[in-house]
Structure formats: C-alpha cells, structure tokens
Amino acid sequence: MTDRAKYSPYTQPTGGWGSVRSLIKHATRQGAVSSAPGLVRDHNKVGGYMCTSCAWAKPAKAHLAEFCENGAKATFWELTSKRAGPDFFARHTVTELLEWSDYELENSGRLTHPLRYDPQSDRYVGTSWEAAFAEIGAQMQAFEREAVVFYASGRAALETSYMYQLLARLYGNNNLPDSSNMCHETTSVALPQSIGTPVGTVLLEDFEKTDCILSFGQNVGTNAPRILHSLQEVRGRDVPVVVFNPLRERGWEAFVNPQRPGQMLTNRPTRIATHYYQPRAGSDIAVMTGMAKALFASDDDAKASGSAPVLDHAFIAAHTHGFADFEQMVRGASWEEITAACGLTRSAVEDAAGVYARATSVIAIFGMGLTQHKLGVETVQMLVNLLLMRGNIGRPGAGICPVRGHSNVQGQRTVGIAEKTALVPLDALARRYGFEPPRKDGMNTVEACEGIIDGKVRGFIGLGGNFVRAIPERGLMEEKWRGLDLSVQIATKLNRSHLITGRTTYLLPTLVRSEIDAQASGPQIVTIEDSTTCIHASRGIHRPAAETLLSEPRIVAEIAKAALPASPAVPWDAWVGNYALVRDEIAAIFPEDFHDFNARLDVPGGFPRPVPARERLWETETGKANFKAPSALHASFDDGLDDSVLRLITLRSNDQFNTTVYGYADRLRGIHHSRMIVMMNAADRARFGIAEGGSATLSSAAGDGIARRVSGLQVIDYDIPEGTIAAYFPECNALIPLWQYAEESKTPAAKSVPVRISPEGGPDGR
C-alpha cells in the first residue's frame, strides 16, 4: 500500500460501538454474515467450536456471546465466501502474486484444491490428492532423515499435533519447530528453571480472588480482548491494575463491554489500568529491579519499626532457593543505573512497588513485550522473582500468567511437538509403536533457518503458518528458500510463504476448526489447550468451504502413509476415521494430563492439566522455587552503541492476526490507511532532522556488515519514550538479524531491535 497514513489519537474505549462497527464491516466484506448466528450460539461454548484466534481461557459460565472483535474478525475471514481455486491460479502467475500485499493474498479467499507449482508456466496448477501424497512421500523417502523440517504454527488441534509429532519421529528426526519458538519459548525456558513448570500457574477463577494485577508487555485490547471481561470484573472490585508498556495501549485504559447493554447505551467506559508506566523498550529488568529494591527498603523499615514485614520471609525460607544472591544483586544496583536504564523516575518505580506491596494476592500477566528480547529469559525470571518475594505463586488469586498466542500453541507442545527430546516421553512412544525414536534434539525455528541457509535442510513441511514471513532476516531467507528440494504447505489461505517456492512445491488446503469434519465414524470432535492449561473440545458447525478439502489429521496421515513403511501399531486410517482413538493414544502416552480424555471432553471451562507449581510443588533441580539474579539491567542487543541507535519494537495492529492482515485500521492506536509507519517521540524526530509527517528509512545497527533496510516509513509523532520506536510486524522483519535472538530460548528478539533512522527525500523528509 502506498497510501499515506492518517493519525488521530483514539479517544473511544476498546470494545463498545467501535468494535461492533468493525465487525459488521468484516462480516459483510468477507460475505460471511450467515456465520454470525453460529458466532453467538457456538463460539467458545461447550458443545460448540473453539475460537481460532487467541489462546485465552474459555469460562465455564460463558457470556451470552463469548467472543471478541478480533476473534469474530478471524472467524469471518475464515468463513469467507471468497475462494482461491485452480481458476484463480490460472489467472495469476506466482511472480505476479509476489507483488501482492499480505492483505490482498489472504483476501483472495479460501484455498480449495491441492496445488503443485509448475515452474514452466510459473503457476500453481491443480493436482489430485493421490498424486500429491505419492510425490511428497517418494521425495521424503529419498532424503537424509535429518534434512526434513516439520513446522507447526500453533492452530492445529491436539489430535493433529499428536499425529504430526509421531510422523516426524517415525520418519527419523525431532525437527519440530513451532511458532512457539518465535513467541513464548522464552517463557517455556524461563519458568521451568524458576518454578519447575513451562506454563502459567493462573486459572480463570484466580481473577475473582486477586487484589492486584501487574501487566508487562502485552496488548490486551487487540491480542486477547476476552481478558477484558475478567479485568472489568476485577476493576468492579476496585482492584489496582498496574501496566508497564512503552506505548499507551488503549485496551489497558478504557473498555466498554459489548455484552453489557447498559454500558453500551451510556458508553461510559470502565477504566482498566489504575497505574500506567511507560519504560523504554527492553528495560523491564531495570523496572523490576527498582521495584524489588523498593520492597527491600520497605521491609528494612518495617523491621526497624516493628511493623508487619513486607517480604514473605516464611515462604522464602521454606520454598525458595537463591534468595541471597538475588538480594545482593538488587541491593547492589543503584537508583541512578536503574532510572537511566528504564527512563522512569525513582518515585514512579517506588509507587508501583507500593501498590504491589499493599496487595495480598497478585497476578502478573505478560506477553511478547518480555519474551522477544536478548535477555527475555532473564526478564521473565525477574518477574517471577518479584512474585516470589511476597509468596505470590501457588496461592488462590495469585500467580504468573503468560498470555499465549495461537489458539493451540501451548497444546501442541503438550502432546509432543517439541524439538527438545527431554520434553517428550520418547521411551513411551518407543514401547507403544515398536520403533527406536531419534534421540538427538531437533531444530528450533532459528536452527531450521540456519539449516536452510547452509543447505542442510532439503525439505520443509508447514502445518499452517507463514514461516518465511514470520521469521527474521527476510531477504536472505527468501533467497535460500528457493534452494529447498521440497516445500509443502498445509494451509487455509494464500500467503507469501506459498509463493517462495522450492524445486517441488505443494500447497495443500485444509478444513478450519469451525467447519464440520466428517469422517468414517461421523462428525469429529477436536481438542485444544488454552493459555491456562485447560483442555476444551471443539465441534465444527459450518459447511466446509469446498468438498475437495481434507482435514488436517487426514493430510498428516496420508503423508505418513506415503513416506513411511506400514506398521500395524500405527493404524493411521483408523485414527482418521475416528479421532477419539487418537485421544486414547494421547491418554496412553500422557496419562497424568489426559487420563479419561474422551470422558472429560465437555467439562465446562475445560479440564485443567495438573501444574505442580500451583500446589507449591517445585519440580526444579533444587526442589525449590529459584530466585534467578539477572546479569544486566537491560535486555537489548545495543550494548556499546551510541544514542544514534534506537530500539525498534515490532508489533501487531488491531487489524491483523500475525501475518494475516485484515485491513489498514489500527483503530485503537488511531492509525489508519497504511501499515508503513513508524511511531516515534517528537523530540527524537526533531533530533534526527525529520519533518512532522515526513518519511524515513530504518536500517539495522547490528554492525555485522549486512545491509538490512526498510524504506518509505511515514513517521508518526507518538506517545512513546525517547530512544524507543515502534513499527509493524511483518513489514519490518527484514531488519532483524537471524542471530539476534533471546539467549537460551532462541526466540527472535523482535522487541528491541537496534536500528538507525534517516530522513527520506531531502531535508524535510517528504
């Protein structure tokens, strides 16, 4: 899009009539109005289907309409009446489609037929399912076992995911990267070291008991709006909500609940955040160190005056390890260092600590603003430290609450989509299926990219997603992708990854979760895990977009049958005929989590997997909850660089789901018509000689000699700290070097990317 952006700060609440208007627009434009009654009746409800959008919890007592603006938008786009069948591909060459925007590609509608790329005509051409599976299977048989990558994007159900990981292991590797590797992998590395579990400890009911919420780096109004239902109830009890975010995100400020007719009529919003702090990007360790320092100071004062202690000394003594080192680090950090790192004043940090200290049960919510930094793991662990200081884990109303992304991203890991063998019961798989599973760790996302760059990876299978668009280092990756022998994409809609072809390229269209999935034993149920470890059944209710579509379990099974020798222990066809049999397999391999799986499908609110930390059982090496002292006060890659280098946050607008761009209205930020923008403090803009409304080029300050550049970005004066700028993902992924990932978790560091900015088009930047 070459349109100029229009910016006027949004003064309306999140939710409310703005979201209703947006929904009507998307339902109409996608020709999906007929799916609206199902949305109200069945969306996120027992007996219905589970939302395809985010992974937030589904309450036991559903609201009249248990959906949000963005979940509904995702559903309308999925159930669109538009189709991209073989005729569409006959009209457009791949070279031509490469010029299309992400929006235009997805807007071409649902894929309907299996397609094979034909290099001669530069077109995708319809093929039969049989031919597709036969060729894919034959090629897979010819590769070295470690040369194939099995990527998953976080949507496919537990049943599909279980079959997919088994396919990879029977094939002979653990190359199972997941979108989680770009997302909350940092959390999944940080939390086991700290509290002995990779997932959050909070359940939805904890929101009813909490008396303080801290939020770091999560944009609730856009990315998990149904949390606002809980937050509104929390605010009704006058519970403080303390937000840390470089940007003032509207969702944390004001919310009108479309489910409350009274509130819709008066349009009087609920104020969500009672305290809002805007630290620099990548400085949360400093903020939390300051808060911890203030807690130590008040605890010292309490001791001196004989009043009640501020720290939970009994909990710390009985349940934790590493406190002394942590205390030393925090007391050793000076206020000068802390305030210089985060840009907040000492009194602001002390005030935040005071709110925290006065509450008895505190929930800490966080998202990509913490995980996607060089020191993301330490940042998440610092948040755990803060909770542990006052015993805020393993108690009702308290705990750590990572907000996961894709609707089943957490569940995919639970049932074995993991490149790390330590996370998978390989022996149990070996016994049950009579084979010797590969014991070497597989590739995560970054390693898969490295393998594609150096030619070790020859084949890539994508179970959903838009890998090439979602990863860093776009320029190099697109070039190297073309060297792959085999690229297979299982997808619902066209995206850029499908257009970057390998020597043999297949596009395999599939059903979506809200569609009826009829197999030999009748319509099938699938299951997913939400952010709070609760497992839900999902039943599609809509007619499939085309009769030619196959379900995801069927596609996985057919690839497996074509690539692997037959084995009576692995009855792929029987499983496809009845997904309940796959759930029996899951229950057999993961009995603690999934015993009596088929009998528990319709527990209202889902059935929770046991999380030991909820009971204060710490499955860590020390047997305790571990305080982990951070190694630095900031989490970015810009050490030693001067102040001509800015920290770039790449984030989502209100009109996208990851790489799926629904439109050009970032309503809650007041930015319209274009995504080629950069949000910047006006003082920074002036410092770099850019005129108001001028354009600029961003370039990577990685200093590795590789030119990475994004041009034509319109600068918007925005309420954001100096030194921090923000722009949209995926447009700016070209600026992120592949090697700039979080230490230990290898999650690409997409939230404090060191960049330089220069004005475009002469002195006034126009």
Residue among 251 and 759 whose Cβ is closer to ligand MGD: 251
| Residue 741 binding: pick among Mo ion, ligand MGD, none (C-beta 5-8 Å cut-off by kind) | none
Ranges within 134-193 binding Mo ion (CB under 5 A):
183
Longest dimension (CA), the chain: 84
Q: DSSP character for 79?
A: T
**Considering only CA atoms, which of 487, 377, 561 is closest in space to residue 151?**
487
CA dist 610 and 335 (Å) reads: 41
Q: DSSP character for 160?
A: H
| Residue 54 binding: pick among Mo ion, ligand MGD, none (C-beta 5-8 Å cut-off by kind) | ligand MGD
CA dist 585 and 537 (Å) reads: 16
Q: What is the 3-state secondary structure (H, E, C) of 480-491?
A: HHCCCCEEEEEE
Shortest distance in whole angstroms from residue 315 CB to ligand MGD: 26
Tell me: cis bond preceding 763? Omega within 30 of 0 counts.
no
Given a contact cutoff of 8 angstroms between Cβ atoms, the answer to whether 229 and 68 are in contact is no
CA dist 279 and 597 (Å) reads: 45
Residue among 429 and 560 whose Cβ is closer to ligand MGD: 560
**Considering only CA atoms, which of 216, 173, 566, 142 is closest in space to residue 384?**
216
Torsion angle, CA of 150/153/156/160, rounded to 10 degrees? 10
Q: How far is CA 614 from the centre of its chain?
A: 23
- Give backbone dihedrals phi and psi of 459, rounded to 5 degrees, phi first: -135, 145
| Number of residues lying near Mo ion (CB under 5 A) | 2
Residue among 7 and 77 whose Cβ is closer to Mo ion: 77
Q: Is 432 left (phi over 0), alpha (psi -120 to 50) or beta?
A: alpha
What tokens appear for 685 in the block? 């803009």
Residue among 197 and 222 whose Cβ is closer to ligand MGD: 222
Residue among 572 and 657 whose Cβ is closer to ligand MGD: 657
Residue among 178 and 206 whose Cβ is closer to ligand MGD: 178
| Residue 218 binding: pick among ligand MGD, Mo ion, none (C-beta 5-8 Å cut-off by kind) | ligand MGD
Shortest distance in whole angstroms from residue 152 CB to ligand MGD: 8
Shortest distance in whole angstroms from residue 428 CB to ligand MGD: 27
CA dist 400 and 231 (Å) reads: 16
Strands 362-366 and 399-402 turn out to be: parallel
Residue among 310 and 401 whose Cβ is closer to ligand MGD: 401
Amino acid at 372: Q
Shortest distance in whole angstroms from residue 531 CB to ligand MGD: 10
Given a contact cutoff of 8 angstroms between Cβ atoms, the answer to whether 400 and 387 are in contact is yes
Shortest distance in whole angstroms from residue 391 CB to ligand MGD: 24
CA dist 429 and 600 (Å) reads: 23
| Residue 694 binding: pick among ligand MGD, Mo ion, none (C-beta 5-8 Å cut-off by kind) | none
Residue among 650 and 681 whose Cβ is closer to ligand MGD: 650
CA dist 295 and 293 (Å) reads: 5
Shortest distance in whole angstroms from residue 492 CB to ligand MGD: 4
Shortest distance in whole angstroms from residue 368 CB to Mo ion: 7
Residue among 269 and 464 whose Cβ is closer to ligand MGD: 464
Shortest distance in whole angstroms from residue 627 CB to ligand MGD: 21
Please name the residue that has the structure tokens 């004001």: 254
| Residue 411 binding: pick among ligand MGD, Mo ion, none (C-beta 5-8 Å cut-off by kind) | none
Shortest distance in whole angstroms from residue 538 CB to ligand MGD: 11
Shortest distance in whole angstroms from residue 699 CB to Mo ion: 26
Residue among 589 and 725 whose Cβ is closer to ligand MGD: 725
Return the CA Rg of the chain. Answer: 25
Shortest distance in whole angstroms from residue 664 CB to ligand MGD: 14
Binding of Mo ion by 470 (CB under 5 A): no
Chain residues in the site for ligand MGD (CB under 6 A): 53-54, 70, 106, 153-156, 179, 182-183, 216-219, 222-224, 244-247, 249, 281-282, 284, 367-369, 405-406, 463-467, 470, 490-493, 495, 510, 512, 552, 649-652, 656-660, 729, 733, 736, 750-752
- Give backbone dihedrals phi and psi of 698, rounded to 5 degrees, phi first: -105, 140
| Residue 510 binding: pick among Mo ion, ligand MGD, none (C-beta 5-8 Å cut-off by kind) | ligand MGD
Given a contact cutoff of 8 angstroms between Cβ atoms, the answer to whether 562 and 130 are in contact is no
| Residue 391 binding: pick among Mo ion, ligand MGD, none (C-beta 5-8 Å cut-off by kind) | none
Residue among 299 and 515 whose Cβ is closer to ligand MGD: 515
- DSSP notation for 456-512: ---EEEEESS-HHHHSS-HHHHHHHHTT-SEEEEEESB--HHHHS--SEEEEEEB--
Whole-angstrom CA distances from 720 to 300, 455, 649 are: 35, 42, 11
| Residue 242 binding: pick among ligand MGD, Mo ion, none (C-beta 5-8 Å cut-off by kind) | none
Residue among 567 and 711 whose Cβ is closer to ligand MGD: 711
Binding of Mo ion by 405 (CB under 5 A): yes
| Residue 108 binding: pick among ligand MGD, Mo ion, none (C-beta 5-8 Å cut-off by kind) | none
| Residue 465 binding: pick among Mo ion, ligand MGD, none (C-beta 5-8 Å cut-off by kind) | ligand MGD
Whole-angstrom CA distances from 46 to 225, 414, 525, 582 are: 20, 22, 12, 21
| Residue 535 binding: pick among Mo ion, ligand MGD, none (C-beta 5-8 Å cut-off by kind) | none
Residue among 162 and 244 whose Cβ is closer to ligand MGD: 244
Whole-angstrom CA distances from 197 to 33, 324, 606, 751 are: 42, 23, 20, 25
| Residue 155 binding: pick among ligand MGD, Mo ion, none (C-beta 5-8 Å cut-off by kind) | ligand MGD
Mark out the alpha helices in 32-157 (DSSP H runs).
Answer: 36-42, 69-78, 86-91, 94-97, 102-106, 129-142
Residue among 183 and 563 whose Cβ is closer to Mo ion: 183
| Residue 339 binding: pick among ligand MGD, Mo ion, none (C-beta 5-8 Å cut-off by kind) | none
Shortest distance in whole angstroms from residue 654 CB to ligand MGD: 7
| Residue 545 binding: pick among ligand MGD, Mo ion, none (C-beta 5-8 Å cut-off by kind) | none
Amino acid at 386: L
Shortest distance in whole angstroms from residue 154 CB to ligand MGD: 6
- DSSP notation for 704-727: SS---EEEEEEEEE-S--TTEEEE
| Cβ-proximal residue to Mo ion, closest one | 405
Total number of residues shown for the chain = 766
Q: Exposed/middle/buried for 9, CB within 10 Å: 0-12, 13-18, 19+? A: exposed
Given a contact cutoff of 8 angstroms between Cβ atoms, the answer to whether 512 and 52 are in contact is yes
Residue among 320 and 656 whose Cβ is closer to ligand MGD: 656
Shortest distance in whole angstroms from residue 657 CB to ligand MGD: 4
| Residue 153 binding: pick among Mo ion, ligand MGD, none (C-beta 5-8 Å cut-off by kind) | ligand MGD
Ranges within 437-466 binding Mo ion (CB under 5 A):
none
What tokens appear for 359 in the block? 């509450």
Residue among 465 and 540 whose Cβ is closer to Mo ion: 465
Q: Which long-range contacts (CB under 8 A, 24 or more apart) does 575-578 make?
A: 575/163, 576/519, 576/520, 576/551, 577/519, 577/520, 577/521, 578/519, 578/520, 578/521, 578/524
Shortest distance in whole angstroms from residue 730 CB to ligand MGD: 6
Shortest distance in whole angstroms from residue 71 CB to ligand MGD: 8
| Residue 113 binding: pick among Mo ion, ligand MGD, none (C-beta 5-8 Å cut-off by kind) | none
**Residues engaged in binding Mo ion (CB under 5 A):** 183, 405
